[in-house]
């Protein structure tokens, strides 16, 4: 018999295995429920009934009494000394002057600097021709 390289054609029957798995799961869950029902023996019936030795009983309340807010007081320093050291004066920062542009005269506008070629392109774009 020649062995097939295709493994997807081989099938196993899962019905019996799934039935055993489901049955065992149901049995384990049932055993846990039966143990919880019968093994506890009603030991939790006296919970919260009080009388537990030195335990303190509590009751429910609708509000909790909080202390009144304190009045605002002025924050007064212990002494008026300015400290052991004095603040250093801030150094004066001088901004360096900008590098002058040689072909820009003082007070000249940006339009004055346009080249004739740029003006021709702009005029052509505005005319739409």
33-61: per-residue pLDDT in tens?
999 888 776 666 656 665 556 767 788 88
100 located within any domain: no
Token digits of residue 111:
């339009």
Q: Which whole number is the average pLDDT over 85-98?
A: 78
pLDDT at 32 over 80: yes
23 located within any domain: yes
Count up the domains in the chain and report the number.
1
Task: Render pLDDT for 16-28 as a digit per residue (tens, 0 to 9).
Answer: 999 999 999 999 9
Is 41 within 8 Å of 35 (Cβ atoms)? no
Across all residues in the chain, what is the average pLDDT?
75
66 located within any domain: no
- Residue 30's pLDDT band (cuts 50, 70, 90): very high
28 located within any domain: yes
29 located within any domain: yes
DSSP one-letter code for 46: T
Tell me how far CA of residue 35 lies from CA of 27, 46, 62, in angstroms: 12, 20, 40
pTM greater than the 0.85 cutoff: no
Task: Name every residue whose Cβ is closer than 8 Å to that of residue 114 and which is 6 or more positions away in sequence.
Answer: 122
Please state, in angstroms and rounded to a whole number, the distance separating the CA atoms of residues 127 and 129.
Answer: 5
Which residue range(s) make up the domain with 25?
Answer: 14-39
């Amino acid at each position: 018999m020649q062995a097939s390289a295709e493994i997807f054609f081989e099938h196993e029957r899962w019905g019996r295995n799934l039935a055993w798995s489901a049955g065992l799961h149901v049995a384990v869950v049932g055993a846990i429920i039966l143990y919880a029902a019968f093994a506890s023996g009603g030991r939790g019936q006296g919970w919260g009934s009080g009388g537990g030795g030195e335990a303190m009983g509590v009751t429910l309340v609708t509000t909790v009494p909080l202390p009144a807010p304190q009045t605002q007081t002025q924050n007064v320093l212990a002494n008026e000394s300015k400290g052991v050291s004095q603040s250093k004066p801030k150094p004066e920062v001088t901004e360096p002057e900008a590098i002058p542009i040689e072909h820009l005269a003082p007070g000249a506008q940006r339009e004055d600097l346009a080249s004739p070629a740029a003006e021709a392109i702009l005029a052509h774009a505005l005319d739409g021709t």
